[in-house]
Amino acid sequence: MAGSGALLRQCPLLLPQNREGTAYEGFVTAQGRDFCIRILLPTDFQLKNARIECSWRLKKILHGYRHILKQRLHSCPDLVSFMVELKTILEIALKNTQDLHIPWPPEYYSCLVRDLEILGWNKVAYVDTGLTTIKLKAEDSCGRQHLVTLKLNAKYPTEPPDCLVDFPVQFAISWMPQNSLIDIYNQFLAALELLKEFWDAMDEIDGKTWVLEPENPTRSATRRRIAIGNNVSVNIEVDPRHPNMLPECYFLGAEHVVNPLRIKLNNNMHLWDPEISLLQNLKDLLEIDFPSRAVLEKSDFAKDCGICYAYRLDGTTPDRVCDDPRCGQPFHQACLYQWLQGLPSSRQSFNVIFGECPYCNKVRESNENV
């Protein structure tokens, strides 16, 4: 191991804590700043088994460089070499994280705490230790719970925070330097009410039908795949700004079952009534009553994919069915496409591939991306 003199020249503030030279504590310096660090070496001085402890600030700066540091610990022959590498990496990390070493002005904290007190701590769901990330909670007029996450910077309130919400539309706030958190909160409440009808429509669908996908829909999700029966389902895409208008509909299932539904939808489209709920309109136009999950699960609706033998694959359920009424075997789109690609007899036109069903040998087609 290199002598203590070389280490002292490289890191004059890092001092040995025992005679054996296995424990060092002090500071490592980069860009004129000192960072607290402690290094514990094993008795054989093998760096790969060393333990490094540092301040939370240094840990935060080096967070994205941990794998590089681990490699350096394994490759450096001695502590001096490693400290040279550490200082180099620290210099790079500091240049890439300029905001971390610019002290935030005291006015920022006093202003933020004042704004939180005016807003009311009962509306705060979370505050991080650095007072830079805040989550505010709110209820819409139907009692649904919502969160807005605020990412603040040192120039608050001159500059607005970044706002993250679980909305199906963009949430853009109006901001002036004299504004505060309460202005964001009021705009958040107003946005919730604008989306009330959309969430009412989606909640009714989620509560009264069997939604196949997404499995756990977020508040921002505008798509639902609803089970109808006989291995048939419908994908609907709802416009969050106009939730009571006819949504985009795409039927999935065997052609002989799907085609009558398409015809009904086209023939009854003029009957759509924006004064009644989206779900009721779909029922009226398709002349069906969407069955519940409990009813369909007792039937053979929830059959596994005939290729991978799983029901849910990467969050999706089988969405392709053999068109032969005597077969009706369901498949995942991705599984069927792979299967048909592997058949010597299959043929492809653009992104549509034609081949035989794995079960009944009927000619089957599949799109690469649907």
Domain harbouring 258, CATH code? 3.10.110.20
Range of the domain at 142: 106-194
Q: Which of 16-25, 88-97, 281-290, 361-370 has the highest mean pLDDT?
A: 281-290
What number is the average pLDDT over the span 233-256? 91
Same domain, 68 and 93: yes
Tell me if 203 is assigned to some domain. no
Share of residues in the chain with pLDDT > 90 (%): 36
Number of domains in the chain: 4
What DSSP designation does 48 have? Answer: G
pLDDT value of residue 114: 93
Same domain, 215 and 140: no
Tell me if 298 is assigned to some domain. no
Q: 44: Cβ–Cβ under 8 A, 6 or more apart, which residues?
A: none
pLDDT value of residue 240: 95
Same domain, 14 and 83: yes
Q: Taking all residues of the chain, what is their mean pLDDT, rounded to a whole number? A: 85
Q: Please state which of the ranges 71-80, 107-116, 224-233, 337-346 shows the lowest mean pLDDT.
A: 337-346
Same domain, 111 and 57: no
Q: Which of 67-71, 192-196, 296-300, 325-329 has the highest mean pLDDT?
A: 192-196
Instruction: Write the CA distances from 95 to 11, 85, 276, 281, integer angstroms.
Output: 20, 16, 58, 58
What number is the average pLDDT over the span 233-248? 94
Task: Inform me whether the pLDDT recorded for 310 exceeds 90.
Answer: no
The band of 343, judged by pLDDT with boundaries at 50, 70 and 90, is: confident
Order of strands, sheet of 23-30, starting from the edge strand that comes earlier in the sequence: 14-16, 23-30, 33-40, 51-54
Cα–Cα dist 32/97, whole Å: 15
Tell me if 296 is assigned to some domain. no
The band of 199, judged by pLDDT with boundaries at 50, 70 and 90, is: very high
What number is the average pLDDT over the span 326-349? 80
User: Which has more pLDDT, 13 or 247?
Assistant: 247
Same domain, 261 and 182: no
pLDDT value of residue 254: 79
Tell me if 9 is assigned to some domain. yes
Q: Angle at Cα 208 formed by Cα 204 and Cα 210, nearest 5°?
A: 115
